[in-house]
Each structure stands twice: as structure tokens, then as C-alpha cells.
Structure 1
């Protein structure tokens, strides 16, 4: 095989590498959809199983949950600004918007941990009833995903700081994290609507 043929083959492999990685990440998101669909289905089955303990109407604080929702949705917007900066190869803008996104995501997690602590203190821990068990599993799984997303964000930010000149691989990684972050927003909207609002109303 000639040198020119090898070069053409390498170029072909490099050209299709991004599409393979993005396709693989979409496949991962589909498995996460199945996971959350199963958790939502379980919660729906346990929606009225309080075992004589405190109910959602007794303990849910929709004001705090609305603040959580606002923080997470705003973080999705700021991540969008980070992607715009990345496409324009504006490294400083990317890092600035990623920092804002991290702060908003960390604020969301802090409020969620505070809510969990309050519920447990009121005797509504995951062991209290089927409802609270399914609630903590669903919301906790989402919170774990947000935590992993924040760790991923920090890792990408550090990589960008080491190589200030944005390249296609870094932009592709940011795009995958963007998909993941927006997916978590969609899941949280479902949590807010079907877990919090439906349980209180």
C-alpha cells in the first residue's frame, strides 16, 4: 500500500471519528432515558403509599423546589453561551460561562441536599414508606447525574486551561457535555411536574 493511500486512509478514519463518538454518546443517553423512565414508573406506582407516615403535601416546599428549577434551567442557558463561545474559539468566554454554570449547578445540589436533610429530620427518610423510598431514589439519581456532570465540567475546564487554543476535540467534548446537561434539565422538568407539583396538587 502506497504512502498516499495510507494517508488517505488515516484521513478517512479521522474524519469519521467524531461521528462515532457522538453516536456512542447518544446511545448512552438513550440508556439513561430507560433508567429514568423505569424510576418514574416506579414512583407512579408508589405515589400514594405513605404507610401512615407524612405525605408529600405535608413536607414538600415548592418555593425551594422552584428556586432549584430556576438555577438548573439558568445553568442550561449559561452552558449554551459557553458553546457559542467555543464555536467562536473564545477560550476566555468558554471558561467564564463554564464557571457560572458550575456555580448554578452547585447551588442546585446544595438546595437538594438541604431538602433531603429536612425530609429525613421530619421522619420522611427513604426507609419510611414506599413513596419516600421511590422519591429519594428518583431525585437522588438525578442529583448524582448532576454531580457527575459538574465533575466532568471541571475536568474539561482544566483541559482547556492547559491548552488555551480550542481544538475540535475539545469542542466535541463540550458538545457531548452540553447534550448531557440539557438532558438533565429535561429530566428535572419532569421531576418538578410529576413528582412535586402532582404530589402536592
Structure 2
């Protein structure tokens, strides 16, 4: 049962929402829900076109390159590495939030640095992948890859790929910026002065959302 608010006191004055949840955290959940609808619309649109089309490029042929090694006989290895990096950055974020609950400023700093490094590594990997595909002639409005059955492919594949992975990459970039700001505030001792690390937890919610969305993007483009 929710706690009652004393007469004359506004429900938001104590930092709690009507659901007895910290107000900022509730707003983050609202934002993530709206963002999930956007990603959902993109992926549903992609799925509708993908399964309404007779032919589609084979991801094992499209995504088989690896930095400094060129085309390999181990398709999807590079994107699997990208996925591993992002998942590990989500683990370090969990550890940062846990350290915040213990009011351990040094551990929060350590794990936030690892999370930021993971995010930057993922963005670097995505930049390389985009650069490599562009060098092969792939871009919005251009698709050099044939369908799995050998027939000519439309530009639907590349248009959706660059749009959705680019939109996700922008979210990762935004998350890295947010985490850098949280790290700076932690180094300044802002959270220690407040007596809590709720801001780290809110940043963690966003970062885990980005990680979860990548699982769906990875499945749709690289596995199906």
C-alpha cells in the first residue's frame, strides 16, 4: 500500500512518485518505455519487409570480415566480439551500481571507467564495421550484396541496417557521455556528499536498456 501524503504537502516534494518510487527513476523508466516503442517500431517494420521478401542477403556472407584479417571463414566472429564487449560493459555497470549501494566511491570510479571503456570499444568496432561495409559499396540506397539464392537484392537490407544500427549506436554514444558525466561527478565527490548514488543507478538503467536492445538488433540482422 502506498504511503499517504500529509495534508498540504505535494507528492513530489519528497522526491517520491505516487508509486512510492524515487521520482527520477520513475521518469527514466517512462523514457525507456517510450524509447522501446521507437526501437520496436523499427524492428517490426524491418521484420515485416524481411519476411515479405522472397530473397535476402545471407548474413554469413555479409558479416564475415575481421580487422587486419579481411574476409575470414568464421562468419559473425567480429559482431560476436562486439556483443561480448557490450555485455561485459553491462556487467561492470552492475558492479558500479552495487558499489554505489555500498557507498564505495573508489569502486564506483573503477567500474565506471571500465564501463566507459567498453562503450568506446563497442563504438570503435561499429565504426570499423560501417567503414568496411562502405568500402564494399554498401550504404543507404546501395546494396552490393546478392540474395542467398543468388538473385539481385534490393536496398531494403542496407537501408534498414544502417538506420537501426546507427540509431542504436547513437544511444550507445549518448550512454557513454552520460557515464562520463557520472564519473566526473563521482570524482568530485558529489554523490558522496548527497549520501547516495541514485544517479549511477539511473545511468545504469539506460545502459542496460541499450544492451538489451542490441540483443534484438543482433538477432534480427546477424542471425536471421
| Structure 1 residues 175 and 123: CA distance shift in structure 2, 3 A | same
> TM-score scaled by structure 2?
0.77
Quote the residue 1:92 is aligned against.
106
TM-score normalised to the size of structure 1? 0.85
Where does the alignment leave 5 or more consecutive residues of structure 2 unmatched? 1-7, 65-75, 143-154
Partner of 2:13: 13
User: When you count helix as a share of all residues, which structure comes out higher?
Assistant: 1
Q: Deviations over 1:47-102 (max 9, x none)?
A: 3799x997544321310000000000000101111111111111010000000111
Say if 1:175 and 1:168 are closer, same or farther in 2 by CA, change over 3 A. Answer: farther
Matches within 5 A, 1:146-185: 146-163=172-189, 166-167=192-193, 171-185=197-211
1:117 maps onto 2:143 in alignment: no
8 A contact 2:191–2:197 mirrored in 1: no
Partner of 1:134: 160
- The verdict on how the C-alpha distance between 1:169 and 1:90 changes in structure 2, with shifts beyond 3 A counting, is closer
1:14, CA displacement in angstroms?
2.3
Question: How many angstroms apart in 2 are the aligned matches of 1:165 and 1:176?
Answer: 13
- Structure with the bigger RCO (C-alpha within 8 Å, sep 6+) is 1
Residue 16 of structure 1 aligns to a residue whose secondary structure is coil
User: Is 1:33 paired with 2:47?
Assistant: no
Is there any run of 5+ residues in structure 1 with no aligned partner, and where? Answer: 1-7
Aligned residues: 191
Superposed CA RMSD in Å reads: 2.7
